[in-house]
Amino acid sequence: MKEQSSLESSEIFQLLYAIPDPEVPVITIGELGVLRSVDWVNGQLNITITPTYSGCPAMFAIEAEIKTILKENNITDFKLKTVHFPAWTTDWLSDDAKKKLSEYGIAPPQHSSQIKHLRPDEVSLQCPFCNSDKTHLTSWFGSTACKALYFCDNCRQPFEHFKCHH
């Protein structure tokens, strides 16, 4: 049987990798680690994704976007599967993605090895606007499950932090 699309799985992976996160569009679902794998199996495309937080509503939009892109590339026979293992962690974020977050005004997550045993109010962060270390936690829960709210005592303004989740 002829495959429906002549695209290699790696090419499709790149296409899907570039889908922006619906709420923080400066980073992509690939950089976030949500997109896990893309494989052709007997003429059917198998895609696996993993949720960031169990209750993250962006997953529905991400699934819809993946389907749209597959359709645009004439891929009709596919299986989109959500896997929960290995469980997502912010340690999967690339350095590049962290840089983009910072430029967007969100302090990126630290690597879990750096903050083991620390409580959230003990994590010291750099302000994404002025790079000062004089910052403090305002609220551990922010507008989305993945973010906390901090305040910079130097440039005197709030900023968001993409929390380390491990």
Residues that bind other proteins in the complex, under the rule CB under 8 A: 22-25, 51, 53-58, 60-61, 83-88, 104-106, 129, 138-145, 147, 149, 151, 155-158, 160, 165-166
In angstroms, the CA 82 to CA 34 distance is 10
Six-digit token string for 142: 């922010």
8 Å CB contact between 93 and 28 = no
CB of 60 to other proteins, least distance (A): 6
Is the Cβ of residue 15 or residue 149 nearer to other proteins in the bound state?
Answer: 149
* Pairing assessment for the beta strands 106-107 and 35-41 based on DSSP bridges: unpaired
Is the Cβ of residue 7 or residue 146 nearer to other proteins in the bound state?
Answer: 146
CB of 2 to other proteins, least distance (A): 32
In angstroms, the CA 100 to CA 24 distance is 10
Is the Cβ of residue 9 or residue 115 nearer to other proteins in the bound state?
Answer: 115
Is the Cβ of residue 56 or residue 70 nearer to other proteins in the bound state?
Answer: 56
CB of 14 to other proteins, least distance (A): 24
CB of 1 to other proteins, least distance (A): 28
